[in-house]
Amino acid sequence: FYLEQDLRQAVDRGQFELRYQPFVDAVAQRVCGAEALLRWQHPEHGLISPIEFMPIVEASGLAEEVGLWAMNAGCRDARRWEQQGVTDCVVAINLSAHQLDRADLDVIVRRTLDHHGLLAKQLELELTETVAAGDSSKAKTLFDSLHALGVSISIDDFGAGYSSLSYLKKLHFDKLKIDREFVSMVDSDPDSQAICQSIIALARGLGIAVLAEGVEREEEYHWLRRHGCTLFQGYYFARPMDLASFIAFATDDA
């Protein structure tokens, strides 16, 4: 019942919003960034989750427009938080597969950064394994040009899809985000423990960062911390929040 037609007009009508969920660096004991999470403020149905509307966005050819909106808004807000004293905090934007189809994504990213006066090192792009599943030589060229700009690339929901390891070999990611499926109950479930330990070791072996997503309980945090994970995201630390709340959260923390 969410009409595709409503979605087509959502950008023009200013109905999209971003919420920011903090990344916590447990070693430095600070907020080191935030993931931008899209929300659709529908005039009749209220706030709608991307889980519900992103499939329609993807299927109806709107992914590029919506993706551009999110990247632009995220970069604008990251510049804003920096100007308000929140320094050394990256913004992470989720990309959908269609956005990688554009060979000139690097040009778009460069333009967006310049427009807002944001440094490339302040931007991370999050891709799921399925996003990188297409033509890997094209993806590699694109990754190279994004890295040349100074932007970093994270693999999202790591472990949740297929062929994760082959993507890691083909493409250079800067960070692995451990899917919350493995984080949930990691303090007590031996299988989750084996998987998290392996992912942490894998990231270390590859020389890239590792972040645990969906941390909800102190026990999960402590277990992961003891096993070498230093970057965290999840309700235990903070829920996704609006820009003003994120600025307050990151400032209090300093």
- What is the contact surface with ligand G in residues (CB under 6 A)? 21, 37-38, 49-51, 54, 70, 94-96, 156-157, 180, 213-216, 234-235, 240
Q: Which is nearer to Na ion, 39 or 116 (CB)?
A: 39
Q: How far is the CB of 23 from ligand G (least distance, A)?
A: 11
Among 156, 223, 238, 240, binds Na ion (CB under 5 A): 156
Q: 77 or 156, CB closer to Na ion?
A: 156
For residue 38, the partner it binds in Mn ion, Na ion, ligand G, none, with Cβ less than 5 to 8 A by kind, is ligand G
The set of residues, in sequence order, having a beta carbon less than 8 Å from that of 93 and lying 6+ positions away, is: 36, 70, 71, 74, 123, 124, 125, 126
- Residues 6 or more apart whose Cβ sits within 8 Å of residue 17: 38, 39, 40, 41, 242
Q: Which is nearer to ligand G, 94 or 112 (CB)?
A: 94
Closest distance to ligand G from the beta carbon of 85 (Å): 25
Q: With respect to ligand G, which residue has the nearer C-beta, 33 or 214?
A: 214
51 binds, among ligand G, Mn ion, Na ion, none (CB under 5 to 8 A by kind): ligand G
* Dihedrals phi, psi of 105, to nearest 5 degrees: -55, -35
Shortest Cβ 156–Na ion spacing (Å): 4
- 104-133 burial: b if 16+ Cβ within 10 Å, else e: ebbebbbebbeebebebebbbbbbbbbbbb
H-state helical runs in 23-104: 50-59, 63-83, 97-100
Binding Na ion by CB under 5 A: which of 77, 82, 157, 220? 157
Please state the closest distance from residue 83 (CB atom) to Na ion, in A: 28
Which listed range, 46-54, 101-109, 148-156, 229-237, lies at the site for Na ion (CB under 5 A)? 148-156
Question: Phi-psi bin for 25: left (phi > 0), alpha (psi -120 to 50), beta?
Answer: beta
Residue 35 interacts with Na ion (CB under 5 A): yes or no: no
* Residue 55 CA: distances (Å) to CA of 4, 7, 8, 52, 134: 11, 11, 13, 7, 18
Q: Least CB distance from residue 196 to Mn ion, whole Å? A: 18
- The token duo for 251 is 């400032």
Tokens representing 22 are 């903090």
* 3-class state of residue 211 by DSSP: strand
CB of 178 to Na ion, least distance (A): 9
List of residues contacting Mn ion (CB under 5 A) = 94, 126, 156
Contact set with Na ion (CB under 5 A): 156-157, 213
